Amino acid sequence: MDFNLMIEVTPLLVKAAWITIDISIRSLFFGFFIACGLVFLQSFQFAPIRWFARGYISVIRGTPYFVQLLLVFYGGPSIGLRLDPITCGVVVGAFNIAAYMSEAIRGSIESVDSGQVEASRSLGFGKVQTLVSIILPQSAALMIRSIGILAIVLIKNSSLVSIISVVELTYQAQRLIGSTYKPLEIFTLSAFMYVIIIYAVMGIIELAYRRAMRYTTL
Amino acid sequence: MEFDFTPVITYFPTLLKGVGVGSLVAVIVAFMSIVGGLLVAVISIYINKIVSWPLRFFIWLFMTTPLLLQLYFLYFGLGEWILIPAIFVGILGLGFHYMAYNADIFVATIKSVSNGQYEASRSLGFGHAATIFYIIVPQAFIRSIPQLGNNMILMVKDTSVLSAIGVAELVYASQYAISVSFRPFEFFIVIAAMYYLINIFMELGQVWLERETAYRR
């Protein structure tokens, strides 16, 4: 192990790790709203709207994220969609994770016993009120858990953005391996950084989960 | 903007060859990751701590770092000592990655097999090793099938990432055709459709397999 080299390249990798974090947080943020929209579309009475949402989720989950990324980045310009690499990473990441996340959100909402809805409705709560003050608090804990798992998937997926030349952690690591010929040192450092990021996310999820557990009836 | 799918049709045989390479990789990786994952799980549960600690570390390391980083490490790391073709590096990388995920599943399902099964088997005269291989592991394996299926579907999609280190699967096979025809959109749409089709078949297969094995659980 060449420790001098490791100390030397740490600032570069830390800087790149911030890009990874930045892309992941932004994708998660936008992805959450798209996912909520997809859940909402699936509750429509008008069937074609539901089919659209189901079809979107099925196609996104059925094709590789990598291909989606290449399609939007290289194929986008021919349909008039020009995005810079980072924006492309955020947008594709958000639309990709939204499909998985809408399933997670729907699952956690459906996990609440239907008796709760009936009880709440018969006590005079409106539909929206039932959703906001009865169902969501009870499904929050499960929702936080499953969104947390997806956040970790998102962080690991963000490494693929290096293919469209965003200088994030994996790209920087690959470039440093190429220039220093010290794969073990660079891999150890960059893997360590991914571990730190992922453990930080897991810690936050655990805290939020414990807080949300107060509202569950389980 | 108008679409022109003629280059896609011209280069369709190349794409099919890519599907072939991808499928070959996927089959080998599926075999390697399931058998290896089972071995890792059995060893890390039943053999002493000195052997099982490194294995647990291996599972943990491969689950917390991205596949692409692992591929780069193997590609450049192994490349330092021996020259091996990218396809072997790809198979090794993807195999280890999913071996870790499968091992994690097997650890959970092996632990879920009731302790009474072990005791009953021992009292009927089976040895320790025989109990593990004839009684515990088969039951755990059947219980793992739904999650293994999910992992294998994810794995098939991840074969596309291998193009980053130059494995000639579907995405990589299209690179030349795209650079000649300047039709990236059409090509990637067709590639996505092919992956989607494979995915649908795998999902159907998974449903069938789960139904077939349900009564054994």
Tell me the per-residue pLDDT of B162-213, one tens digit each, with 9 for 90 and over: 988 888 888 888 888 888 888 888 888 889 999 999 999 999 998 898 888 8
Sort out which chain B residues have CB atoms less than 8 A from A158's CB and list them: 66
> How far apart are the C-alpha atoms of B37 and B59, rounded to whole Å?
9
Task: State the Cα–Cα distance between residues A74 and A68, nearest whole angstrom.
Answer: 10
How does residue A214 score in pLDDT terms, banded at 50, 70 and 90? confident
Question: What structural domains does chain A harbor?
Answer: 3-213 (1.10.3720.10)
Say yes or no: B208 contacts chain A, CB-CB below 8 A: no
Q: Are B13 and B177 in contact (CB under 8 A)?
A: no
Nearest to B185 among A78, A194, A195 (CB): A78
Does any CB of chain B come closer than 8 Å to the CB of residue A78?
yes
Categorize the per-residue pLDDT at A112 as very low, low, confident or very high, splitting at 50, 70 and 90.
confident
What's the burial of A11, exposed, middle or buried (CB within 10 Å: 0-12/13-18/19+)? exposed
Q: What is the pLDDT of residue B216?
A: 67
**Contact present, A69 and A92 (Cβ < 8 Å):** yes
Of A71, A183, A195, the CB nearest to B189: A71
SS3 annotation, chain B? CCCCCHHHHHCHHHHHHHHHHHHHHHHHHHHHHHHHHHHHHHHHHHCCHHHHHHHHHHHHHHHHCCHHHHHHHHHHHHHCCCCCCHHHHHHHHHHHHHHHHHHHHHHHHHHHCCHHHHHHHHHCCCCHHHHHHHHHHHHHHHHHHHHHHHHHHHHHHHHHHHHHHCCCCHHHHHHHHHHHHCCHHHHHHHHHHHHHHHHHHHHHHHHHHHHHHHHHC
Please, what are the domains in chain B?
19-216 (1.10.3720.10)
- What's the pLDDT score for residue A217? 64
CB contact under 8 A, B185 and A178: no
Partner residue facing A191 (CB), from B65, B157, B200: B65
Weakest mean pLDDT among A123-127, A197-201, B78-82: B78-82
Query: Cβ of B160 and A195 within 8 Å?
Result: no
* Interface touch B1/A78, C-beta < 8 Å: yes
Do B185 and A66 lie within an 8 Å CB cutoff? no
Does A177 contact B68 at a Cβ distance shorter than 8 Å?
A: no
Average of per-residue pLDDT across B61-76: 88
- From A201, which residue of chain B is nearest by alpha-carbon distance? B64
What per-residue confidence (pLDDT) applies to B197? 93
Residue B195, min C-alpha distance to chain A (Å): 6
Residues of B within 8 A of A80 (CB-CB) are 1
Structure tokens at A120: 């709440």
Mean pLDDT of B144-154: 89
Nearest CA in chain B to A171: B69
- Check whether A218 has a pLDDT greater than 60: no
Please name the amino acid found at residue A152: I
| Chain B residues in contact with A157 (beta carbon < 8 A) | 66
d(CA A82, CA A85): 9
Using CB atoms and an 8 Å cut-off, which of residues 27-46 of chain B contact chain A?
Answer: none
Band of pLDDT at residue A52, cut at 50, 70 and 90? very high
Integer Cα distance of A96 and B187 in angstroms: 20
* The pLDDT value given to residue B217: 60
Q: Which amino acid, A167? A: V
Q: How far apart are CA A152 and CA A154, in angstroms?
A: 5
Any chain B CB within 8 A of the CB of A170? yes
Report yes or no: A24 at the B interface, CB cutoff 8 Å.
Answer: no
Structure confidence at residue B14 (pLDDT): 84
Per the CB < 8 A criterion, the answer to whether A142 and A4 are in contact is no
**What's the confidence (pLDDT) of residue B97?**
92
CA separation for the pair A77, A173 (Å, rounded): 29
Here the ipTM equals: 0.86
